[in-house]
Amino acid sequence: MADSFTLRSVTSTDYDTFFDFVQSVFHESGEQSARDAESWVFEPDRAIAIFDGDRQVGAAGALTRDLTVPGGPIPVACVTAVAVAPTHTRRGILTRMMRHQLTELHESRREPVAALWASESGIYGRYGYGSASQYARIDASTRAVRLRHPVPPAERHVETGPASDPKLRSEIAAVYARAYPTLVGHLDRRDRWWDYRLQDDDKNSLRVALHESDGRADGYAVYAVRRDWGNQGPKSEMTVHELIAESGAARDALWSYLFGVDLIATLNHPCPADAPLQHLVDHPGRMAIDLSPNLWVRIVDVDRALTARRYAAAVDVVLDVADPFCPWNEGRWRLVAGPAGARCERTDADADLALSSTELGAAYLGGTTLAVLADAGLVRELRPGALRAASVAFAEPRQPYCPEVF
């Protein structure tokens, strides 16, 4: 069992061993470019490793970042590099690492919420993580799908260049810094996170389209083209990795530019599940749209987490929370909240809703509603009317979305 293994903290001198282990578990090549990029954001003081004797058999880390939740950015522990050696699975190693991480966050009063991308969607619910958002991948043939109202080239005000261009990078960073606090699911990009986001193994293949209005950048797209040719002409594929616009005019101009790039046969775009692109084109039924899980969210401390966000409507509700993995969250909590703020504290009052920490995490970003979770039998209404009121309060008008894997 996991008790026979040794859990150790990681230091900066352990980076190569830690990196090689994680790369091996995920069947990655461990190329030098990837090693360098991961080192830019690696936080050794937040990483742990499990050893069987002298052999590393487990790894987990966390990144210090702010995540936008309803109401604005808050500190969130971004869990990453979680790996168990294939020779040591189902021996309690992952459970031990998850418990260590969450207990440390609770006892040190660090981030009240943790989040991760799940490589296997069936794993993290058992540790109290809930599926809090989805993302869509849109694939469109540029021959079959066009914009309904494209902006003429002379009116677009779009500048393009490689993502390595310092001026373009500075401009898009400024746009993102203004926009991300209003985009639920997006992360801050402090220190070297822009270097990490724009890392480009194929130099100059990653490009930027920058939109300007009244002398100021107000939107951008980051994209890449995979070149290909067939007997009947170009078959190149454009991937739009990220599109941020501060106005509808900037968004329309950027999409008009992207759909107008010559020699492109297919355009694909990872985006929020409710991305407006499907409403901007003439034949949305000709686009393939696949949905996949995005962020998984774990409530570390119920009171601190629920107090940290804002709510769409006033609500006064008592939640009976089940959380055997983090027993400090077990019990009844009264949430009195609204658009201006929130208060959450323990109570002996009768409960209005019963749910587990997993469902609370799923609803935290406002994309997965409590009403849907109740329909699935995962939330129980104990006072008539409480479910509707709480579901409306927790919900967001737009789907949360995280554009970057961490």
Which residue is catalytic, options 124, 176, 223, 311?
Answer: 124
Give how far Cα 288 sits from Cα of 105, 208, 304, Å.
41, 25, 40
Residue 109 burial (CB < 10 Å; 0-12/13-18/19+)?
Answer: exposed
Two tokens, residue 390: 């709480």
Phi then psi dihedrals of residue 77, to 5 deg: -75, 110
Place of tokens 């920058």: 210
406 is a catalytic site residue:
yes
3-state percent breakdown (helix, strand, coil) of the chain, nearest 5: 30, 35, 35
Sequence-ordered list of residues with C-beta below 8 angstroms from that of 302, at least 6 positions apart, any chain: 319, 321, 323, 329, 333, 344, 357, 360
Cβ 116 vs Cβ 293: under 8 Å = no
124 is a catalytic site residue:
yes
Say how far apart CA 169 and CA 403 lie, in whole Å. 17
Sequence-ordered list of residues with C-beta below 8 angstroms from that of 159, at least 6 positions apart, any chain: 168, 209, 210, 212
Angle of CA points 201, 204, 207, to nearest 5°: 105
Say how far apart CA 152 and CA 154 lie, in whole Å. 6
Angle of CA points 319, 358, 379, to nearest 5°: 50
Closest residue by Cα to residue 365 from 401, 316, 403, 329: 401
Sequence-ordered list of residues with C-beta below 8 angstroms from that of 40, at least 6 positions apart, any chain: 191, 192, 195, 196
Which amino acids are annotated catalytic? 124, 406
